[in-house]
Amino acid sequence: MTAYLVLDDGRIFEGEPWACKGETFGEAVFSTGMTGYQETLTDPSYHRQVVIMTAPHIGNTGMNTQDEESRKIWVSGFVVRNPSPRVSNWRSERSLEDDLISNGVVGIRGVDTRALTLHLRERGAMRVGIFSDSELSREEMVVKVRSAPEMVGAFLAEEVTVDEIKKIPAVGVRKFKVAAIDLGIKYATPRNMAARGIEVHLMPATITFEEIKSGGFDGLFLSNGPGDPATMGSIVALVRSALDASLPIFGICFGHQILGRALGFDT
């Protein structure tokens, strides 16, 4: 059976169905890492994205609970060249395909992922669809991909943020107390802060500056996350208030873009 990876510029790559069968859509992104596929899959930053792995062999070391970066797999689709048919690692608890299936992720294997990556590098960001077990014509698949939601204008923070404030105690002597706004944070971030003596208060994306100001924090952290930073008007306003109050601010990935917009830059 043939599966199809369809880009919104009309380019089509053929492969084989893998993990769940069906249709899925998202923004096409690629990862050049030879390892760390579990961390990528469970990173909320990849919500509503179809991830393409350039390394040919994926899944060799299986999946385990310790390396998860969030509560679930977030990618909307997963594209690989040659998934490993056998798991070989002493830390493995499950196979990659088993986890993809349990999370309802549609995948495709046998794709020339490096040719696909070069195409994306030259043409830029675009929507993509994976079709397996479909009777649609190639033209119909392209039309479906072009009608899928774009990442531009997507406000996704509310879909990945925590529901309530959570405190992660510092390991050993507390050196700082930081408010971390969860825009799609990975487990490793507050864990590594705590290991360095930072007491982290994980805040939902709906938090206000008044709530942060009353907490007596030494700094404000803006996390990674998915979506379009241009939609984050309330968080940008919060950061501007924090800047006016001379509260130290730092961030990572999406958080850097939020800080940039608060300083008047575009993204």
Q: What residue type is assigned to position 145 of the chain? A: V
Q: What is the pLDDT of residue 220?
A: 99
163 and 93 share one domain: no
Q: Are 223 and 201 in contact (CB under 8 A)?
A: no
Q: Does 204 reside within a domain?
A: yes
- What's the alpha-carbon Rg for the chain, to the nearest Å? 20
69 and 170 share one domain: no
Tokens of 24: 């899925």
Residue-wise burial string across 117-131, b where 16 or more C-beta atoms lie within 10 A, e elsewhere = bebbeeeeebbbbbb
DSSP 94: B
Q: Are 249 and 217 in contact (CB under 8 A)?
A: no
In this predicted structure, the answer to whether residue 230 has a pLDDT above a threshold of 90 is yes
Domain count, the chain: 2
Q: Does 115 reside within a domain?
A: yes
Q: What is the pLDDT of residue 255?
A: 98
89 C-beta neighbours (distance < 10 Å), count? 11
Report helix, strand or coil for 219: strand
165 and 142 share one domain: no
CA distances from 181 to 22, 56, 127, 208, 230 (A): 35, 36, 28, 10, 17
23 and 55 share one domain: yes
What backbone torsions phi and psi does residue 41 show, to the nearest 5 degrees? -60, -35
- The model's confidence at residue 133, banded by pLDDT at 50, 70 and 90, is confident
Tokens of 15: 């492969």
96 and 205 share one domain: no
Q: Does 113 reside within a domain?
A: yes
Q: What is the pLDDT of residue 267?
A: 83
Report helix, strand or coil for 138: helix
Choose the final residue of a domain: 88, 111, 146.
Answer: 146
CATH of the domain at 19: 3.50.30.20
What backbone torsions phi and psi does residue 97 show, to the nearest 5 degrees? -65, -40
244 and 142 share one domain: no
Q: In terms of C-beta density within 10 A (0-12 exposed, 13-18 middle, 19 or more buried), how is residue 233 classed?
A: exposed
Rounded mean pLDDT of 4-30? 98
43-69 tens-digit pLDDT: 999 999 999 999 999 999 999 999 999
Q: Does 151 reside within a domain?
A: no
Chain-centroid distance, C-alpha 90: 27
Report helix, strand or coil for 72: coil
128 and 213 share one domain: no
149-174 tens-digit pLDDT: 999 999 999 999 999 999 999 999 99
Whole-number Å distance between alpha carbons of 211 and 75: 32
Segments forming the whole domain that contains residue 214: 157-262
Q: Does 202 reside within a domain?
A: yes
Whole-number Å distance between alpha carbons of 158 and 138: 35
188 and 105 share one domain: no
Among residues 76, 75, 48, the alpha carbon closest in space to that of 156 is found at 48
Q: What is the mean pLDDT of the chain?
A: 97
Share of the chain above pLDDT 90, in %: 98
Q: Does 219 reside within a domain?
A: yes
Q: Are 177 and 217 in contact (CB under 8 A)?
A: yes
169-205 tens-digit pLDDT: 999 999 999 999 999 999 999 999 999 999 999 999 9
107 and 216 share one domain: no
Whole-number Å distance between alpha carbons of 54 and 34: 8
Rounded mean pLDDT of 109-125? 96
- Dihedral in degrees, nearest 10, Cα atoms 72, 73, 75, 81: 180
Whole-number Å distance between alpha carbons of 88 and 144: 39
Q: Does 152 reside within a domain?
A: no
Q: What is the pLDDT of residue 7?
A: 98
CA distances from 79 to 72, 83, 120, 128, 182 (A): 18, 10, 14, 11, 28
CATH of the domain at 213: 3.40.50.880
163 and 255 share one domain: yes
101-110 tens-digit pLDDT: 999 999 999 9
In this predicted structure, the answer to whether residue 228 has a pLDDT above a threshold of 90 is yes
Better pLDDT: 262 or 1: 262
32 and 102 share one domain: yes
Choose the final residue of a domain: 113, 146, 179.
Answer: 146
